[in-house]
């Protein structure tokens, strides 16, 4: 059985409605529409380092407790003051996000939760809304000054553009491209997967390899270079599988598989331990808790289970 190759944070049912972002009349009417809904994000002063660290690591929204986890969306008239973003539309309903400068209000049937905590268990609509909202909040919080002249920037296009107050130049949301790859090989007629442990992790935590794309480098070149640097393994035929937004704070993860064909000098100490697993070995190690695999919110889990062919137990 092939496991689903759609990463958790790539799910969405909401139309981004890009053409509506600069339509001020439509935006005003949509905000006044009682059917519109608002996702409130916990934040703070965007000029403070603490707020940026909070947004990058633990952006939170209210999520209902109980068997079904859902975002708590409010009416526009009940939304707090704060920077506002258009998230998109679904039918006649518009969705907005507001970055609130204060702690989320207490709610007897809800609790604050981060995208890392609930991204894999929310429905497709809510996952898409929360992922986009956090990506926009992080970008706006960290791009308050023009990279050309250093002047302040002002949000425009409902949070999807920032305009330099001095030069009028426009800045658009930035993403850092990264490759994440599952390396496999055939050894004595049985296929194995390569997983690594970062020295800053629990010794039981293992995942696939990953790294940022260098300037002037293709995605396939990045796959080959990163595997060689981190694991001392030569790979060939990188094959694209799927991608996932990873707004912590602004990465885009491009998932690949690649076949190992040899060894080379290892030049990076980012990975402390590498291990090869057959499918039965990986299942038993995960079931016994000897190996802790990535959580389901990450594309790393998608790559591993796609190779394995089914869901695996455990995760962190």
- Name, in order, each residue with C-beta under 8 angstroms of 261's C-beta and a sequence gap of 6 or more: 185, 234, 235, 236
Q: What value does the mean pLDDT take over residues 35-61? A: 61
Q: What value does the mean pLDDT take over residues 48-74? A: 68
Q: For 53-62, 82-91, 252-261, which range has the lowest pLDDT when averaged over its residues?
A: 53-62
* Whole-number pLDDT of residue 4: 63
Give 5's pLDDT tier (boundaries 50, 70, 90). Answer: confident
Q: What value does the mean pLDDT take over residues 97-125? A: 86
Q: What value does the mean pLDDT take over residues 228-238? A: 97
Give 48's pLDDT tier (boundaries 50, 70, 90). Answer: very low
Give 43's pLDDT tier (boundaries 50, 70, 90). Answer: low
* Whole-number pLDDT of residue 263: 96
Give 1's pLDDT tier (boundaries 50, 70, 90). Answer: very low
314 against 86, higher pLDDT: 86
Give 15's pLDDT tier (boundaries 50, 70, 90). Answer: very high
Q: Mean of the per-residue pLDDT values for the chain?
A: 91
* 55 pLDDT higher than 50: no
* 45 pLDDT higher than 80: no
Give CB contacts under 8 A, 24+ apart, made by 232-239: 232/263, 232/264, 232/265, 232/266, 233/183, 233/194, 233/260, 233/262, 233/263, 233/264, 233/274, 234/260, 234/261, 234/262, 234/263, 234/264, 235/181, 235/183, 235/259, 235/260, 235/261, 236/261, 238/181
What is the pTM assigned to this prediction?
Answer: 0.90
* 26 pLDDT higher than 50: yes
* Whole-number pLDDT of residue 315: 72
Angle at 22 between CA 21 and CA 23, to 5 degrees: 95
Taking alpha carbons only, the member of 277, 256, 265, 273 closest to residue 211 is: 256
* 3 pLDDT higher than 70: no
Give 196's pLDDT tier (boundaries 50, 70, 90). Answer: very high
* 154 pLDDT higher than 80: yes
Give 100's pLDDT tier (boundaries 50, 70, 90). Answer: confident
* Whole-number pLDDT of residue 50: 38
CB 99 within 8 A of CB 135: no
The percentage of the chain sitting over the pLDDT mark of 90, rounded to a whole number, equals 79
Q: What value does the mean pLDDT take over residues 104-122? A: 86
Q: What value does the mean pLDDT take over residues 95-109? A: 81
* Whole-number pLDDT of residue 60: 83
């Amino acid at each position: 059985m092939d496991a689903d190759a759609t990463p958790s944070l790539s799910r969405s049912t909401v139309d981004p409605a890009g053409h509506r972002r600069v339509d001020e009349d439509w935006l005003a009417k949509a905000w006044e529409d009682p059917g519109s809904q608002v996702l409130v994000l916990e934040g703070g002063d965007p000029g403070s380092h603490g707020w940026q660290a909070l947004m990058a690591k633990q952006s939170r929204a209210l999520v209902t407790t109980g068997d079904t986890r859902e975002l708590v969306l409010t009416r526009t008239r009940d939304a707090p003051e704060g920077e506002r973003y258009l998230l998109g539309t679904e039918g006649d309903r518009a969705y907005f996000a507001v970055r609130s400068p204060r702690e989320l209000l207490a709610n007897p049937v809800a609790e604050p939760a981060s995208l890392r905590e609930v991204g894999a268990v929310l429905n497709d609509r809510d996952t898409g809304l929360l992922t986009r909202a956090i990506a926009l909040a992080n970008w706006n919080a960290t791009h308050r000054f023009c990279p050309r002249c250093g002047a302040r920037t002002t949000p425009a296009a409902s949070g999807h553009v920032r305009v330099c107050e001095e030069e009028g130049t426009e800045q658009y949301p930035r993403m850092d491209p990264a490759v994440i790859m599952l390396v496999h090989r055939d050894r004595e007629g049985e296929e194995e997967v390569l997983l690594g442990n970062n020295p800053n992790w629990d010794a039981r935590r293992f995942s696939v390899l990953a790294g940022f794309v260098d300037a002037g480098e293709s995605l396939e070149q990045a796959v080959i270079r990163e595997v060689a640097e981190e694991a001392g393994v030569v790979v060939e035929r990188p094959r694209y599988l799927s991608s996932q937004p990873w707004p912590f704070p602004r990465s885009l993860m491009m998932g690949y598989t690649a076949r190992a064909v040899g060894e080379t000098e290892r030049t990076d100490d980012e990975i402390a331990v590498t291990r090869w697993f057959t499918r039965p070995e990986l299942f038993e190690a995960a079931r016994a808790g000897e190996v802790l695999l990535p959580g389901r919110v990450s594309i790393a889990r998608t790559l591993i289970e796609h190779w394995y062919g089914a869901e695996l137990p455990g995760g962190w």
